[in-house]
Structure 1
Amino acid sequence: LYYLRCCSCRAWVKRERLMSRKPTHVCVDCGTFGRPIWVNPASILIAVILLLCFFVPGVIYILWGIVSTYQVCPKCRSRAVIPLNSPKGQEFISNTQKKQVTAEHDIPTQIAKMAELKDNGIITQQEFDSKKSELLARM
């Protein structure tokens, strides 16, 4: 990010390159589509101390850190990321699309229910109008 602040002409190129990357994974917990982040549980400070004081344990610690590296969601840091081209990823995408279609068709019924609540005096006209505009904005 420091590189992006120093040179504005190269910043646009780098930013476009980052934005053009297509998502490869989906997070099951938060539903984010994107590229996962690699996380290494080993600490650099501990690795340096072990290497300086005890060489063999330092090497073992570094190898453990390399072996135990894992991928996490860039948004929620969950380990529950799955590739989009896997069967589970395709199933997740199809389920998400079905839910979106259901939610879009459900908006008129929600407005009708809100109108019924307004007619019964449970909610005010102002509450009905605000909720109706919110629902129509989602369409």
Structure 2
Amino acid sequence: MSTYHPIQRVLWNLTSAGTASTTISASANSGPITCEGSTDLGLMVNVTGTPTGTTPTLDVQIDIQDPDGNWYPSIAKITQLTTSAGRGTAYLGLHMPNVASSSAALVLPHWCRVTWTLGGTNPVYPQTSIALIGR
């Protein structure tokens, strides 16, 4: 049985321990992350370096998995980042208003994942951090 934690905690972070950011040059995902014990999730993306490539784009989203193992993509996603440094947030859970694609109000399943997709020709996003926070 899980315990509700009203204080935030990091459920997943793209960067290694002791590293503030990393370079993204390929689309990927976090793999399954347990959301057990969380009623709300916050996805935070920050790019401090200047993206390179021809018309680079970065999309980051939260996917959820049903009990049968089916993934439901893009339940909440940040606004697409393009040719300049920037940041984005998305929220998901019981206490979120479903007002845009950046938030979704629903009961969280046991598993979720963070997915990032790069677009353009030879896109590179340096100095990027992605974190999934739960409470």
Q: Shorter-chain-normalised TM-score: which range?
A: under 0.3
Higher alpha-carbon Rg:
1
Report 1 or 2 for greater relative contact order, CA contacts < 8 Å, sequence distance ≥ 6.
2
TM-score, normalised relative to structure 2:
0.20
TM-score, normalised relative to structure 1:
0.20
More helix per residue: 1 or 2? 1
More strand per residue: 1 or 2? 2
